[in-house]
Amino acid sequence: MIRTFFSAIILTGTIYAQSNLISEQEKKHFKSLTQITFGGDNAEAYFDKTGNKITFQVTNKNWNVPCDQIFYFDLKNLKKKLDLSKKENFQMISTGKGRTTCSYFMPDGKHILFASTHHKMDSCPSVPHIKGKYVWPLYPEYDIFVADLNGKIVKQLTNTDGYDAEATVSPKGDKIVFTSTRSGDIELWVMNIDGTNPVQITHELGYDGGAFFSPDGSKIVFRASRPKTEEEIKEYKELLAQNLVAPTNMEIFICDADGKNLRQVTNLGKANWAPFFHPSGKKIIFSSNHHSQRGFDFQLFMINIDGTGLEQITTESNFNAFPMFSPDGKKLIFSSNRNNKGTRDTNLFIAEWKN
């Protein structure tokens, strides 16, 4: 039986300070755990290069945010007596129109990169449903933008037909990797930090996405599907024609920053996704349900870049994903369903990391 430890300072019904919601197994790597958000669907939180600020996406009807929008938060504010369930204590970066995804800090720490449909629609795009199948939409209206910390759009980096999203920045500050359907498949592309010279770096049939650079900028880790059978290929192409992808079978891959030396890291089955490099560059943390009999039980795992040494990191709740280490390796931020009081809320948590 997993023991859950909980200690907090509660002021007017809201948890402001330290929250230790850690199982015995998680205590191997988590010294403590602090909850950042309280309510709604909060995901894809990423640190700036100092590890003191985060950007993330939110869907929260109580905030009048019906589909994902990008927000910014200075972690110094955790020391203040703020009600973190309230929208006014976070800075909205996106316009509030359309839908957004996948934000990331630019090298200067003063601008944020994200994908958005705001320039082509005011309201949220419809969410597709296919009976008996879980699918992700690849909205062709997505383009990649840069905004300052006050939410002013300063530049549009892509302007092509099809899906352009899932962009992240090299620690070297010179390149952006992103996912695009502009060539007819769901591939990884790399462009200069100003959006010039886009180059396709993956070429195999299947979904390539969720890419991040290694700490030295020399490699890229990402999730990928590789349909093999005639039936799998047919289904993949039929869904792609509808701007959809079924993310139920994905593995973790690594390649050089230019796409060379591509190799598969995991061969676990089911959905292995949301990978991110440990600051050492020698390990990858990712989310997976490969161990689950029920399907929807996503835990964080760590693995060496050569595919050895698989280790389970989290055990609490049935959803843990989108992990990112701070550049100094002292903190890990991720999304989790823990402590949601039986709701479907997904919140952000920061762990003090022990190697």
At residue 27, the pLDDT reads 96
Query: Is pLDDT at 2 greater than 50 in this prediction?
Result: no
Q: How far apart are CA 255 and CA 202, in angstroms?
A: 9
CA nearest to 56, candidates 282, 65, 64: 65
- Per-residue buried b or exposed e for 127-166, using 16+ beta carbons within 10 Å of the residue's own CB: eeeeeeeebebbbbbbbbbbbebebebeeebbeeebbbbb
Q: How far apart are CA 199 and CA 177, in angstroms?
A: 9
Query: Is pLDDT at 277 greater than 70 in this prediction?
Result: yes
SS3 readout for 168-182: EECCCCCEEEEEECC
At residue 248, the pLDDT reads 93
At residue 6, the pLDDT reads 28
pLDDT tens digits for range 61-96: 999 999 999 999 999 999 998 999 999 999 999 999
pTM: 0.93
At residue 72, the pLDDT reads 98
At residue 232, the pLDDT reads 97
Q: How far apart are CA 267 and CA 251, in angstroms?
A: 6
Per DSSP, the residues of 37-62 read --SSEEEEEEE-TTSSEEEEEEEEGG
Question: Which residues, including other chains, have CB under 8 Å from residue 50's CB and lie 6 or more apart?
Answer: 109, 327
pLDDT tens digits for range 99-122: 999 999 999 999 999 999 999 999
Residue 307 token pair: 């595919």
Per DSSP, the residues of 156-170 read E----SS-EEEEEE-
Q: Average pLDDT of 168-193?
A: 98
Residue 271 token pair: 């959905």
Q: How far apart are CA 94 and CA 68, in angstroms?
A: 10
Q: What is the DSSP letter of 2?
A: -
Q: Average pLDDT of 119-140?
A: 96
Query: Is pLDDT at 39 greater than 60 in this prediction?
Result: yes
Mean of the per-residue pLDDT values for the chain?
93
The residues pairing with 60 across neighbouring beta strands, listed in sequence order, are 65
Question: Which residues, including other chains, have CB under 8 Å from residue 345's CB and lie 6 or more apart?
Answer: 38, 39, 40, 41, 337
| Alpha helices in 35-161, H assignment, sequence order | none
Q: How far apart are CA 23 and CA 315, in angstroms?
A: 7
At residue 16, the pLDDT reads 36
At residue 296, the pLDDT reads 83
CA dihedral over 245, 41, 100, 36, signed as positive or negative: negative
At residue 294, the pLDDT reads 75
At residue 35, the pLDDT reads 96
At residue 20, the pLDDT reads 52
Q: Which range has the worst mean pLDDT, 7-16, 91-100, 245-254, 339-348?
A: 7-16
State whether residue 291 is helix, strand or coil.
coil
Residue 226 near residue 236, CB atoms below 8 Å: no
At residue 138, the pLDDT reads 98
Count CA atoms closer than 13 A to 19's CA, side-chain side.
Answer: 18
- What is the percent of the chain with per-residue pLDDT over 90, rounded to a whole number? 91
Give all strands of the β-sheet with 91-92 in edge-to-edge order. 41-47, 53-60, 65-74, 91-92
CATH number of 41-328: 2.120.10.30
Q: What is the DSSP letter of 130?
A: B
Query: Is pLDDT at 236 greater than 70 in this prediction?
Result: yes
Reported as a pLDDT band with limits 50, 70 and 90, residue 293 is confident
Q: How far apart are CA 349 and CA 347, in angstroms?
A: 7
Q: How far apart are CA 332 and CA 348, in angstroms?
A: 10
What is the amino acid identity at position 134? Y
Q: Which range has the worst mean pLDDT, 118-127, 174-183, 287-296, 346-355?
A: 287-296
Q: Average pLDDT of 186-202?
A: 98
Question: Which residues, including other chains, have CB under 8 Å from residue 300's CB and lie 6 or more apart?
Answer: 285, 286, 287, 312, 313, 314, 320, 321, 323, 334
Q: Average pLDDT of 269-284?
A: 98
At residue 5, the pLDDT reads 27
Query: Is pLDDT at 259 greater than 90 in this prediction?
Result: yes
Q: How far apart are CA 60 and CA 46, in angstroms?
A: 19
Reported as a pLDDT band with limits 50, 70 and 90, residue 7 is very low
Q: Average pLDDT of 198-213?
A: 98
